[in-house]
Structure 1
Amino acid sequence: MPFAYQRTLHLADTDAAGVVYFVRTISLCHEAYEEALAAAGVRLADLLGANGIVVPIAKCEAQYLRPLHAGDKVRVVVTPVALTEDSFAVDYEVHRLGSPEKLMARVRTEHVCTSPAKRARAVLPGDLAAWVAAR
């Protein structure tokens, strides 16, 4: 099931021209990802080595459709997508709120579950696999 995250863009998110810097859009999506995981009961520590696995981003792509500015209120829709038993993608849509609401960007990250000790891919842990499957 998609998750929605909202926030107001800050001056610190923008470049000298007052437009949201492209990397900040990806950072905004990652904030939304973390919030989606927390809402589903997935602990970040478990994805950062606490249980012997890590889940890094292996690929990221973004399509910027319209510029965002400081003060814009945005909603990021987060949708996990199963790829294999050890990988998944997360699709994001960044919308500027208002009348009318507008789609501003699309971002996709692909994540791979690995065991650093074994130097090999690992099956997604149960809570993360459930979050991805719940789409």
Structure 2
Amino acid sequence: MAYAYRRTIHLADTDAAGVVYFAQLLHICHEAYEICLTENGMDWSGLLREGTVALPIVHSAIDFLRPITWGDRLDIQLYPELENFRQFKISYRIFKENQDSPPESPLATALTRHVAINPRTRQRCSLPPVVETWLRNAPKIEDSKI
């Protein structure tokens, strides 16, 4: 089972046509990542205060498969994957929330790739232990039913 995050699309998330703005959906995916990692033990304020590691996104992609509009309740599934000791990626599947039946096909899919760097030197470094643990225990996308 994937890590999951639920979110309602607000008017501010949409463009003039009432459809979710592409950059806003990436922002919502990032919200899901932050919340998921927090729930798994990440102390973001401590990480920022220490200033020894940052986890910038170095690549992102998003595919819209069906329109997402104001008021839609989304179920965002996260599948993080360790790529090496300094880098990981997260695959996202965005569904319309439907609590009474299995999810339909996704409304959108997204991907973010993150690297660990020392913010002072801008050189790559090892991932924090809490992130490594989160990644090692993460659900695998190939195990999902969709």
Q: TM-score, normalised by structure 2?
A: 0.85
Which among 119, 122, 127 is matched to residue 124 of structure 1?
127
What does 1:1-135 correspond to in 2, within 5 Å? 2-48=2-48, 50-98=50-98, 101-135=104-138
RMSD of equivalent CA atoms: 1.7
- Consecutive unaligned residues of structure 1, counting only runs of 5 or more, are none
Task: Give the deviation of 1:117 after TM superposition.
Answer: 2.9
1:19 is paired with a residue whose SS is coil
Post-superposition Cα deviations, 1:70-115, rounded to whole Å, max 9, x if no partner, equal 0111000011111110000011111012477441111100000011
Between 1:11-20 and 1:118-127, the stretch displaced more is: 118-127
- Consecutive unaligned residues of structure 2, counting only runs of 5 or more, are 139-146
Q: Percent identical across equivalent pairs?
A: 38
2:50 is paired with a residue whose SS is coil
Kindly indicate which of the two structures has a greater share of residues assigned to strand: 1
Q: TM-score, normalised by structure 1?
A: 0.92
Task: Give the deviation of 1:125 after TM superposition.
Answer: 1.1
Q: In 1, Cα distance between the equivalents of 2:113 and 2:49?
A: 18
Which of structure 1's runs of 4+ aligned residues deviate more than 6 A? none
1:17 is paired with a residue whose SS is coil
Q: In 2, Cα distance between the equivalents of 1:26 and 1:19?
A: 14
How many aligned positions are there? 135
